[in-house]
Amino acid sequence: MFFGKKEKKPVFDFEGFGILGLNSDKSGNEWFGDVQNVCKNHTVELSIEVEGNSPPSSYQVEFLKRLFVNIESTEQAIYKYIHDCFEGTKWQKTEEDLKKMYYLSAITLKRDNADIWVILEPQIDVPTIFNFLPRLTLRNNEIVWSNLK
């Protein structure tokens, strides 16, 4: 029986954060992996959409490094946004409660290098107010879309 030689999957070393692998599907190519040093207590799934099989550009790398340096203020803005979405409803929670309920799980830098998709996941051991994953789109450090409104 013939076994074909398995091609080695391309990797990108996102220095200081982790190794990303190239994923391809009908919608395009992205570099994907779990990265460290973004959030204090956990890894974050990072996706960087690219044209063809090219590695992330220096612009994309620097863009994400700037985002990661300011991630705490970005997270704070996200929790404030979620709080404001449910203020005055039976689902209203404080920003501190929201921080306990949800953590930053995934970040995708879209191909246009302007939009960032962010996904929060519920903590396993904390009751939540939603039965889905809060998803948001950021552009120029502002939330321009979410599945909460």
pLDDT of residue 8: 79
pLDDT of residue 3: 64
Measure the CA–CA gap between 103 and 114, rounded to whole angstroms: 23
Q: Sheet harboring 115-122: ordered strands across?
A: 11-14, 18-25, 28-35, 44-50, 102-109, 115-122, 135-139, 142-146
Residue 31 pLDDT more than 60? yes
- Mean pLDDT check: name the lowest of 40-44, 59-63, 128-132, 136-140: 128-132
Residue 125 pLDDT more than 90? no
Q: What is the mean pLDDT of residues 90-97?
A: 92
Helices (H), 19-94: 58-69, 71-86
pLDDT tens track for 1-28: 556 666 778 999 999 999 999 999 888 8
Measure the CA–CA gap between 117 and 138, rounded to whole angstroms: 6
Q: Which helix (H) or strand (E) holds 97?
A: helix 95-101
Classify residue 59 by burial, with Cβ atoms within 10 Å: 0-12, 13-18, 19+.
Answer: exposed
Residue 106 pLDDT more than 70? yes
Percent of the chain with pLDDT over 90: 77
Q: What is the mean pLDDT of residues 139-147?
A: 95
pLDDT of residue 11: 95
More confident residue, 82 or 126: 82
